[in-house]
Amino acid sequence: AQSVAQPEDQVNVAEGNPLTVKCTYSVSGNPYLFWYVQYPNRGLQFLLKYITGDNLVKGSYGFEAEFNKSQTSFHLKKPSALVSDSALYFCAVSYWDNNAGNMLTFGGGTRLMVKP
Amino acid sequence: DAGVTQSPTHLIKTRGQQVTLRCSPKSGHDTVSWYQQALGQGPQFIFQYYEEEERQRGNFPDRFSGHQFPNYSSELNVNALLLGDSALYLCASSPAGRNTDTQYFGPGTRLTVL
C-alpha cells in the first residue's frame, strides 16, 4: 500500500519570502512523486514530478521540489512567494500494480496563504 | 491544443437518482482516470480506463461504473445516489497510464445530492 502525508493544513508566508510545503510518502518500490495545485473551483494543475535522477526537480511558475529518499520526503519550495501562489497544494505518489495501470494517491492538501 | 474537458460543470440530483458525467481526454492521450474529491479532502481514485476496459479500480462500490469509447472519451455513472456522493468529480488523462506518466486533470464536475 502507498500513502502520502501533508502534515500542515495551512502554511502562511509573506510575499517575497521563501516558502516550503511539506510532503512525506510511504511506498513499496521506487516512488514516483507529483505536486499539483488547485485554485478555487478549479481542477488540479500539474506543477512538477520526480521520477529518477537529480533530487532537485524544477517545475512550473518557479516552483521546485527536493526528493530525500532517506527521509521519504518530497517538499515543495519556492524562493520568493507571490500573492498569486495562494492556493491548495497536493502531493501525490504514483503506483503501478502488475501492469494493471497507475493510480495516484493524494495527500490531504495544504492551503498556502501568501500575504502582501 | 485542448486540455481535458468535462461536462456538465455543475449538477444537482436527489437521493436515489442516477447520474452520468462525461470526460474528453487531452489530445494524444488514451488513458482516462476518475477521482472523487470530497470537500476539504484530497482526490480519491475511483477507476482507470484504457483500451475501453476498466484497468484498475479504487475502493468504491459497484454503484460507480464507467465506460470508455473508441475515441478515448469516458463516462462515469453513479447509481442510487447517496448524500455522501456529493463531491467534485475529476477526470484525468495520460498517454498510456504508466506510473511515470503525468496525469492531466479537467476542471471537474460538482455534484450535489439533496
pLDDT in tens, A60-72: 999 999 999 999 9
> Which chain B residues contact residue A101 at CB under 8 A?
31, 48, 50, 55-56, 97
- Residue from B51, B26, B58 nearest A43 by CA: B26
Our CA angle for A23, A26, A29, nearest 5°, is 125
- Residue from B56, B28, B74, B17 nearest A99 by CA: B56
Is the CB of residue B63 less than 8 Å from the CB of residue B78?
yes
What region does B30 belong to: left with phi over 0, alpha with psi -120 to 50, or beta? alpha
**Number of helical H runs and strand E runs in chain B:** 0, 11
What average pLDDT does the segment A75-100 reach?
90
Angstrom CA distances, A115 to A15, A21, A82, B48, stand at 6, 16, 8, 39
Percent pLDDT > 90 in chain B is: 88
More confident residue, A97 or A27: A27
Q: Go through A9-26 and write b for each residue having 16 or more CB atoms within 10 A of its CB, e for each that does not.
A: eebebeeeeebebbbbbe
- Residue from B46, B55, B3, B57 nearest B21 by CA: B46
Could you give the CA distance from residue A109 to residue A98 in angstroms, rounded to a whole number?
Answer: 28
Is residue B97 over pLDDT 70?
no
The Cβ of residue A86 has, within 10 Å, a number of other Cβ atoms equal to 17
What average pLDDT does the segment A84-94 reach?
96
Is the CB of residue A15 less than 8 Å from the CB of residue A113?
no
Is residue B100 over pLDDT 80?
no
Could you give the CA distance from residue A78 to residue B114 in angstroms, rounded to a whole number?
Answer: 42
Could you say which of B41, B44, B108 has the minimum Cβ distance to residue A43?
B108
Contact B42 A45 (CB under 8 A): no
What average pLDDT does the segment A80-104 reach?
87
Residues 9-48 of A with CB under 8 A from B: 32, 34, 36, 41-46
Contact B43 A106 (CB under 8 A): yes
> Which chain A residues contact residue B93 at CB under 8 A?
none
Residues 47-106 of A with CB under 8 A from B: 49, 51, 90, 92, 94-97, 100-106
Could you give the CA distance from residue A65 to residue A69 in angstroms, rounded to a whole number?
Answer: 13
Is the CB of residue A107 less than 8 Å from the CB of residue A44?
no
Question: Which is it for strands A87-96 and A102-106: parallel, antiparallel or unpaired?
Answer: antiparallel
Contact A102 B101 (CB under 8 A): yes
Contact A107 B55 (CB under 8 A): no
Residue-level pLDDT at A37: 97
